[in-house]
Amino acid sequence: MLVGLYRAEILAIVEDRPEYRWISWVDPKSPTIDFHVPTTFGKFIFAPN
């Protein structure tokens, strides 16, 4: 299954609004993360316990 996982870190609060840095679990090989490009997706492989 192709999945995109992302995390947001709050860097600062400016004028009551948070500024985020987005982190992808897969290196998208681009200067900024764009959630609409296939390079931010990775494979989940499900295995029995």
Alpha-carbon Rg of the chain, whole angstroms?
14
Q: pTM of the full predicted structure?
A: 0.56
Looking at residue 30, its amino acid is S
CA–CA dist 22, 32 (Å, integer): 9
Question: Tell me, what's the pLDDT at 33?
Answer: 63
16 DSSP assignment? T
pLDDT in tens, 16-44: 999 988 888 887 777 766 777 788 888 88
Question: What is the greatest pairwise CA distance in the chain?
Answer: 49
Domain boundaries, the chain: 2-43
CA–CA dist 32, 23 (Å, integer): 10
